[in-house]
A = this chain, B = another copy of it.
Amino acid sequence: VPASQAQLPVYDAGVVQGATVTEMVRTFRLRPYRLAEHLERLFRSLRYTRLEIGLSSGQLEQIANDLIAHNGSLLDAGGDLGLNLFVTAGDAPLYQGMTGRRPRPEPTVCVHTFPLPFGLWARRMETGAHLITPSIRQLPAQCCDPQMKCRSRMHYYLADREAQQVEPEAFALLLDLNGNVTETSGANFLMVECGAILSPPMVDTLAGISRATVIDLAAKMGIPFRERTIGVLSAMNAEEAFLAGTPYCLMPVTRLNGVAIGGGRPGPIYRRLLETWSTEVELDIRQQILQGGRSG
């Protein structure tokens, strides 16, 4: 079906309970990036939820590639696709009367693409994102393991609304139950201290695949990468900070709780990482986003 008509029945558990496991992949020059890693993580999430989809990783890869091939051909030049895979827990039994059939116990699997909306990020790629630590906290592992990428994310929505009280364009940087830094609603938070890249430990934070890319790039570039519990004071005193997320790869952070990070400008390690990444994928990632912002 055309992407604009992709819909989920209101009686699906994905709508009713947010009982949805998901992955998002992006393409570079219309080739999917690290698709195998995304699929592996999807299957890890599925084992945790005990959802069985009856499709192998190879079959999903095939579907993804076919969809990208087809939808990529409809895209404007210079664009790239996001691809969403999600699996819901299927029919919610309570609503069985709506369909006139017994609720299907099988999960709903949905794969769709969308043009990456570069215009959303163009300005922040230049000026940097502004982050706020809200009072709403990251979900603890004993409610939902943070290594599962799922769609029960009301706390993200609430956290971002709080951040937007301060500044309409700000993102929330969620703290864990102990008050230490975790992640934003859409990305991993990384910072630079004494020339090394620091990440919060993966206890209450999803181990993102863009973050894994940063680890690989940093290793190649000789930049140390370390995990460490990060308090708010350390984050506010970072030499640099940036967000790692699938659709935009790396976005600079230039302000946290109203205080400028790294002089308020994207930092040199951020820039080098993004350049190296661009070289690897044979595409100027930053340029693509800025251009998308101008035309969008």
A247 neighbours in B (Cβ, 8 Å): 94
**A120 contacts chain B at the CB level, 8 A cutoff:** yes
A–B complex contacts, Cβ < 8 Å, 26 sampled:
A6-B9, A6-B11, A7-B7, A8-B15, A10-B86, A10-B112, A16-B151, A17-B18, A17-B153, A45-B233, A48-B233, A50-B161, A93-B120, A95-B117, A96-B117, A97-B117, A133-B135, A141-B180, A148-B154, A150-B154, A151-B152, A151-B154, A152-B155, A166-B166, A178-B203, A202-B229
Complex CA distance for A80 and B89, rounded to whole angstroms: 26
B17→A15 contact, CB < 8 A: no
Least distance between A78 CB and chain B CB atoms (Å): 13
**A198 contacts chain B at the CB level, 8 A cutoff:** no
A82, A94, A234 — most chain B CB neighbours (10 Å)? A94
Count the A residues whose beta carbon is within 8 Å of the partner chain — how many? Answer: 91
Least distance between A279 CB and chain B CB atoms (Å): 26
User: Which residue of chain B has the shortest Cβ distance to A161 in the bound complex?
Assistant: B50
Q: Which of B13, B135, B165 contacts A157 (CB 8 A)?
A: B13
Least distance between A260 CB and chain B CB atoms (Å): 9
